[in-house]
A and B are shown apart, each in its own frame.
Chain A
Amino acid sequence: MSEHDTIAAIATPPGRGAIAIVRCSGPAARDIAGRVFRSRAPLLDRVATYGSIVDAAGQRIDRGLAIAMDAPRTVTGEDLVELHIHGSPITARETLNGLLAAGARLAEPGEFTRRGFLNGKLDLSAAEAVADLIAAESRAAAHAAAANLNGGLRRLVDSARDALRTILEELAGAIDFPDEVPAPDPGDVHARVATVAQALAALSRDGERGRLLREGFSLAIVGPPNAGKSSLLNALVGEERAIVSAQAGTTRDTIEESFAIDGVLVRAIDTAGLRSSADAVERLGMERARAALAAAALALIVVDGAAPLEAPARDVLRATRERARIVFFNKRDAGSIGYDARETPEAGALWGSTFDPASIATIREAIAQAGWRSERIDATRPYLGGARHVQAVEAARRALELALETLAAGAPVDLIAGDLAAASAALGEITGGAVTEELLDGIFARFCIGK
Chain B
Amino acid sequence: MTNHGRPCAAPKSGAMNEHSSPADDAQVIVVGGGHAGVEAAAAAARLGAATILVSGDPLRIATLACNPSIGGSAKGQLVREIDALGGVMAQLIDATALHARFLNESKGPSVRALRALADKPAYARAAQSLLAGKPNLRVVAAMAEDLVVEGGAIRGVVTADGAFLRARCVVLATGTFLGAKTFRGADVAAEGRFGEAPALGMSAALGRLGFPLARLKTGTPPRIDRTSVDVAQLSEQAPSPTPLPFSYRSPARFAGPQLPCWIALTNERTHDLVRQNLSRSPLYGLDLIRGIGPRYCPSIEDKVVKFAHNPTHQIFIEPEGWDEPTWYVGGFSTSLPADVQLEMLRTLPGCADVVMLRAGYAVEYDFVTPTELDPSLETRRVAGLFHCGQLNGTSGYEEAAAQGLIAGINAAHRALGRPALRLGRETSYIGTMIDDLVTKGVDEPYRMLTSRAEHRVVLRHDNADLRLTPIGHELGLIPDAEFAAFTARRNALKDAREAAERTRIGPTCIRTAVFGAGATLADALRRPELSFADVAGLFPRPIDPAIGERAHIEIAMEGYVRRAEAAIAQAAGDEAKTIPPAFAYVAIDQLSREAREKLERVRPRTLGAAARIPGLTPADIAVLRVMLHRIRQSIPA
Q: Give A residues with C-beta under 8 Å from B.
A: 1-5, 108-111, 114, 117-118, 120, 124, 127-128, 130-132, 134-135, 137-139, 168, 172, 174-180, 183, 409-415, 417-418, 421, 434, 436-437, 439-440, 443-444, 448-451
Contacts and interface: CB of A to CB of B under 8 A. Distances in A.
Contacts of B571: 2
Interface string B94-110: 00000000011011111
A127 B627 contact: yes
A137 B623 CA distance: 12
B110 A176 contact: no
A451 B330 contact: yes
Nearest to A125: B630
B111 A175 contact: yes
B161 to A, nearest CB: 39
A450 B296 contact: yes
11 contacts: A2-B574, A174-B107, A175-B111, A177-B296, A178-B103, A179-B314, A434-B614, A443-B451, A449-B295, A450-B303, A450-B333
Contacts of B454: 418, 421, 436
B55 interface: no
B73 interface: yes
Contacts of A127: 626-627, 629-630
B633 interface: yes
Contacts of B74: 176
Contacts of B108: 411-415
B629 A117 contact: yes
B614 A437 contact: yes
Contacts of B456: 418
A4 B528 CA distance: 36
A440 B574 contact: no
Contacts of A412: 106-109, 528
B382 to A, nearest CB: 31
A77 to B, nearest CB: 12
B618 A108 contact: yes
Interface in B306-357: 306-307, 310, 313-314, 316, 330-331, 333
Interface in B247-297: 294-297
B440 to A, nearest CB: 9
B117 to A, nearest CB: 12
B630 A409 contact: no
B296 A172 contact: no
Nearest to A5: B570
A178 B573 contact: no
Contacts of B563: 418
B625 interface: yes
Nearest 5 CB-CB pairs, A to B?
A414-B108, A138-B619, A412-B108, A451-B330, A131-B590
A5 B570 CA distance: 9
Contacts of A411: 108, 528, 556
B617 interface: yes
Contacts of B621: 1
A361 to B, nearest CB: 49
Nearest to B614: A434
A262 B492 CA distance: 72
B622 interface: yes
Nearest to B299: A450
Contact of B528 (A139, A409, A414): A409
Contacts of B614: 434, 437
Interface of B: 67, 69, 73-74, 103-104, 106-111, 294-298, 303, 306-307, 310, 313-314, 316, 330-331, 333, 449-452, 454, 456-457, 528-529, 556-557, 560, 563-564, 570-571, 573-574, 588, 590-591, 611, 614, 617-619, 621-623, 625-627, 629-630, 633-634
B627 A450 contact: no
A5 B572 CA distance: 13
Given A4-B573, A178-B104, A415-B457, A124 B634 contact: yes
Contacts of A444: 295-296
Contacts of A450: 294-298, 303, 331, 333
A111 B588 CA distance: 19
B107 A413 contact: yes
Identify which of B303, B529, B614, B626 gathers the most chain A CB atoms within 10 Å of its CB. B626
A134 B590 contact: yes
B622 A110 contact: yes
Contacts of B303: 448, 450
A439 B454 CA distance: 13
B573 to A, nearest CB: 5
Contacts of A409: 528
A103 to B, nearest CB: 13
Contacts of A443: 451
A131 B623 contact: yes
A119 to B, nearest CB: 10
Contacts of A414: 104, 107-108, 110-111, 450
A117 B621 CA distance: 15
A2 B73 contact: no
A135 B590 contact: yes
A439 B451 contact: yes
Nearest to B310: A448
A415 B623 contact: no
Given A176-B451, A415-B110, A450-B297, A410 B529 contact: yes
Contact of A2 (B109, B449, B570): B570
Given A2-B571, A418-B457, 7 more contacts: A4-B573, A130-B626, A412-B109, A415-B457, A437-B614, A439-B451, A450-B331
